[in-house]
Amino acid sequence: MRAAVIEQLGGEPVLRDIPVPEPAGDDRLVAVSTAALNPADLVYAAGIRLKPTLPYVPGLEGVGRSADGSRVYVPMAPAPHGTFAEYTVVPAASAQPVPDDVTDEQALGVGVAGITAWLALCWKGRVQPGESVLVTGATGAVGQVAVQAAAALGASRVVAAGRERTTLERLRERGATDTVVLEGDYPAALAAASKGGFDLVVDSLFGEPMMAAIRATRPGGRIVNLGMRAGRTMELNGIALKGRDLLSCNIGDAPAAEVGESYARLVSLVQAGSIRTDHESVPLEDVAEIWRRQDSSPHAKLLVGI
């Protein structure tokens, strides 16, 4: 089968012909139609958090059909059989059904990015109807879903904060009450937009933007961090944090049932028109190009047609 393969740490995927994976135990073989790229794919390939066994097929998620013809979403494909290939394997309990009226692009738009956003809001953030929510890094794939999901969950105010103005304006049409451009004196702008303090912050930036978000959070509020696009270290002011809960969210730590329920809820919101996502797609032959695009923090979901 055709597959994109990582052959060295820090390298880009290259197209190769490799054997079709053989399912073991309760694994299911899935014929992949579309795969998605995530920042975590690049982190893993670089050996930053874990040292993968080389060579391997990258790709955490994809959509395809299992042997019985059912259409499924594959979350967190187990290494070394990622989704950037004509076939992958997935534990039967992890495969999520995809309704026929939901396209591959929609299914992947609320996949890893959407589930991460939902877990941050609900599993860790415990958002309640009527609460105010700030989403930093709102112009990324996770942030865009987080803004729309917070609105759909009944937040009284949803403030989207990021750098890319065009996407911020689009988010006003998709549920954001207000937007803040993270330039200049943005800490003051966040404080003003909080109208006395946010109840919940969903942060994918870390660093100085998260510190500014903490200062804009009310006493008793929660800050959920799920990414470090602004840097992997920061100086944390204990006085500003006092009385507020700082939490970390990682999709890999969530129970399988929580992940499945999150995805089902997101798909239902897609069907209702409450969540819309943007995407860019290339064929498998151009996987190296889209790999480089991901490293530049794109404002749309990057997909690979298999």
CATH of the domain at 33: 3.90.180.10
pLDDT at 274: 97
Residues 49 and 125 in one domain: no
Same domain for 31 and 74? yes
Domain membership of residue 146 as a residue range: 114-252
Q: Which stretches within 111-177 are classed as H helix?
A: 112-118, 141-152, 165-172
Number of domains in the chain: 2
Residue 268 lies in a domain: no
pLDDT for 273: 97
Q: Which tens digits make up the pLDDT trace of 61-94?
A: 999 999 999 999 999 898 899 999 999 999 998 9
pLDDT at 48: 84
- Are the CB atoms for 85 and 3 separated by under 8 Å? yes
Predicted pLDDT of residue 51: 86
Cβ neighbours for 296, distance < 8 A, ≥ 6 positions apart = none
Verify that 220 and 286 share a domain, yes or no.
no
Instruction: State pLDDT tens for residues 240-250.
Output: 999 999 999 99
All residue ranges of the chain with pLDDT < 50 are none
- Cα separation, 251 vs 150, in Å, equals 18
Shared domain for 152 and 238, answered yes or no, is yes
Instruction: State the virtual CA torsion across 175, 181, 185, 188 in degrees, nearest 10.
Output: 0
How far apart CA 146 and CA 117 sit, in angstroms, is: 5
pTM of the model: 0.94
Cα 147–Cα 82–Cα 106 angle in degrees, nearest 5: 35
pLDDT value at residue 194: 98
The reply to whether 118 and 248 lie within a common domain is yes
Per-residue pLDDT at 136: 98
- Asked whether residue 48 is assigned to any structural domain, the reply reads yes
